Amino acid sequence: MSTNISFLIPTLNEEKNIAYSLESCAFADQVFVLDSGSTDKTKELAEAAGAFFVYHPWEGYARQKNWGLDNLPLETEWIFILDADEVITSPLRDELLELAGSMALTDKSGFYVNRYFVWEGKQIRHCGYYPSWNLRFFRRGKARYEERDVHEHMVVDGPVGYLKGEMHHEDRRGREYLWQKHLKYAELEAREMVKSVKGESTGELKPSFRGNSLELRRAIKERIWPFLPARWALRFLYMYILKQGFLDGATGLDMCLFMTRYEFEIARKFKAFKNIANSSGVR
């Protein structure tokens, strides 16, 4: 029986995660694994699970997924973009099936989906990481990612809604891998900050203090945050005190300290990139 749902899962060396995500979305009509050059068993695991494995050279977070939306033989009305370290929970699965099974149920072009993070084996419910809304479920042809190197958002043509079911987010590749991944994010984030202080906001989502929640967040991130001192300390205070990370116990403290270290790396790289831009005569 058709579900009218396809999944798109971008991957790179996800052998420790991919089996969980694939099992959770096995109900769908189509599951595409869009790989950018894995050297582990990602391909074997994907094909064993019955997914369509497609290789495409890495173009960046937004461009890679947009390439998949433009070029993969997606046939269903509804598409869900799922990270390899995410799992569709049973309540979310049932909600997706109900929506996609009857077009008369909604006039929405896309839906935001909440997710909870599992950190060192414990579910995080504070720290500013819950709730964590992402627009992932949408009608084919109605949504694309903005062209941005990091923290890209999806732009939807039409009204959007919010689902009740949640995604489970847990990267099982280990702490050292996670740190190296965040170092890459830090470089991308720092480069975006240099662009923002030069007044070169990237992406289709424009910063606005009078816009929607995403536009307001982008405005704070680009027009206020880069100019604040000791941003790493502010990040810790925001996560641990304001967002009550202390309620998640020792695990919450560990996560807050990890992200504080990440913010320090962003600041360090931002300073270096800004100095290079200034010395080269770029203002």
CATH code (residue 132):
3.90.550.10
Domain boundary among 142, 169, 196: 169
Per-residue pLDDT, 148 = 80
User: What is the per-residue DSSP string for 69-96?
Assistant: HHHS---SSEEEE--TTEEE-HHHHHHH
> What's the pTM value of the predicted model, to 2 decimals?
0.92
What mean pLDDT value characterizes the chain? 92
- Looking at per-residue pLDDT, the higher value among 218 and 145 belongs to 145
Query: What percent of the chain stands above pLDDT 70?
Result: 96
pLDDT of residue 283: 44
How far, in Å, CA of 31 to CA of 88, rounded?
Answer: 13
Tell whether 31 and 151 lie within a shared domain: yes
Residues 162 and 48 in one domain: yes
Half-sphere exposure of 157 (CA within 13 A, CB side): 6
Determine which of 108-122, 205-219, 261-275 has the lowest per-residue pLDDT on average. 205-219
198: pLDDT confidence band, cut at 50, 70 and 90?
A: confident
57 and 14 together in one domain: yes
The kind and range of the H/E element at 239 are none
pLDDT of res. 143: 96
d(CA 218, CA 161): 21
Domain boundary among 146, 169, 192: 169
Q: Which amino acid is at 265?
A: E
Q: In total, how many domains does the chain have?
A: 2
Judge whether residue 54 has pLDDT over 80: yes
Paired with 138 in beta bridges are 79, 110
**What integer pLDDT is reported at residue 282 of this predicted model?**
47
Q: Are residues 224 and 96 in the same domain?
A: no
Residue 115: pLDDT above 50? yes
The pLDDT, as a whole number, for residue 138 is 97
- Is 128 found in the same domain as 83? yes
- DSSP result, 129-175: -SS-EEEEEEETTSEEE-S-SSS--EEESS-EEEEEEEEEE---S-H
Are residues 99 and 79 located together in one domain of the fold? yes
Assess whether 125 and 47 both reside in one domain.
yes
pLDDT at 15: 97
Selected residue with higher pLDDT from 83 and 279: 83
Task: Mark whether 104 and 158 lie in a shared domain.
Answer: yes
For the segment 257-281, the average pLDDT, to the nearest whole number, is: 89
Q: Given 125, 142, 169, which residue is the final one in a domain?
A: 169
Domain that holds residue 85: 5-169
Kindly state whether residues 145 and 216 are assigned to the same domain: no
- Which pLDDT belongs to residue 30? 98
Give yes or no: residues 148 and 234 share one domain. Answer: no
In this prediction, residue 136 carries a pLDDT of: 97
Q: Same domain for 229 and 252?
A: yes
pLDDT at 281 over 60: no
Higher pLDDT, 255 or 210: 255
Do residue 145 and residue 250 come from a single domain?
no
